[in-house]
Every structure is written in structure tokens, then in C-alpha cells.
Amino acid sequence: MAIQEYLIVNSNGSEWVGLSVSDVGEAMTLPELSHYPGEQLPVKGFFSLRGEILSVYSLAGIMNINIKDEQTVIISYLSDKTKIGLTVQGILGVFNIDDTELRDAKNLTDNPYVDSVVFKDNKVISLINIKKFGNVIT
């Protein structure tokens, strides 16, 4: 029995999504973004964070769910060398989730980024693996 910490975010008002705390560096109010020529969702733009240029993507856009007012950016690690920003509607908190609570996502969703789901507080929380975003993030 292992307990892991997940940052639970609200990606569009009704969808709760969990990211492993180990994949999250920090969270902040969405800064003003610069834009790439011809950018399309899920790309939202880019900004400079302490001298480092970070591309920002819509979490809802990557997961193909309706996008609402995204006001927060979460700095996530795709690898030791690659950081990105993910926009979300808001942060709900850090939840401790016991591995006995995890349910296989295959029977509940066809979303390729969702590894497991958890039923908590009358909500379904999709636990995603941001390492799988590599095929979307270029």
C-alpha cells in the first residue's frame, strides 16, 4: 500500500485532473503570453520564466475537453531537461491518494493520457501521465 501526492486541478469547470506532485515545479497566475506565428490549440503561447523561455499549452486542449477560462499555469516537467507550462482553470489542492483507490482508466475513458481514475468527494479524478504529452508537445 503506497500513498502518492497529486496536484488536483480543475481543467474546465467540471473536469478534475490529477498530476503527480513529482511532475510539478510550481504554479502561478497565468502571465501575459507571447505568441508563435500560426499557433493553434493546444498551444497557448510562451513566456520567460527567470530567463528561460517556456511554451504554454492548454491542459484541456491536450486532453480534448471543453476549454473554459484558464487563469493558472502549472510548470511541469516532461523530463529532466524539458519544462512546459500547462494552463488550467484553477488548483483544488494536493490530495494524498492510496494506490488501493486507483481504478484502471481503460474501462472508463479512451483518453490516452489518463492512467488511472479515483473517485473522491463525489467526483471522478483523472490521473494523467504528462510524460505521454511528448507526442503533442513539439
Percentage of residues in the chain with pLDDT exceeding 70? 96
Average the pLDDT over 11-39 and give the result: 90
Q: Cα-Cα-Cα-Cα dihedral of 135, 131, 51, 6, to 10°?
A: 140
pTM of the model: 0.88
Residue 17 has phi, psi (to 5 degrees) of: -130, 140
Chain centroid to CA 21: 11
For residues 29 and 79, is the Cβ–Cβ distance under 8 A? no
Domain edges within the chain: 3-135
pLDDT digits (tens, 9 = 90+) for 98-115: 999 999 988 888 888 999
pLDDT digits (tens, 9 = 90+) for 33-76: 999 999 888 999 999 999 999 999 999 888 888 877 788 888 89
For 61, the enclosing helix (H) or strand (E) is: helix 59-62
| More confident call, 80 vs 93 | 93
Q: Above 90 in pLDDT, residue 14?
A: no
pLDDT at 67: 72
Percentage of residues in the chain with pLDDT exceeding 90? 54
Domain at 3-135, CATH class: mainly beta
Peptide bond connecting 31 to the previous residue in cis, omega within 30 degrees of 0: no
Average the pLDDT over 29-36 and give the result: 94
Q: Above 80 in pLDDT, residue 12?
A: no
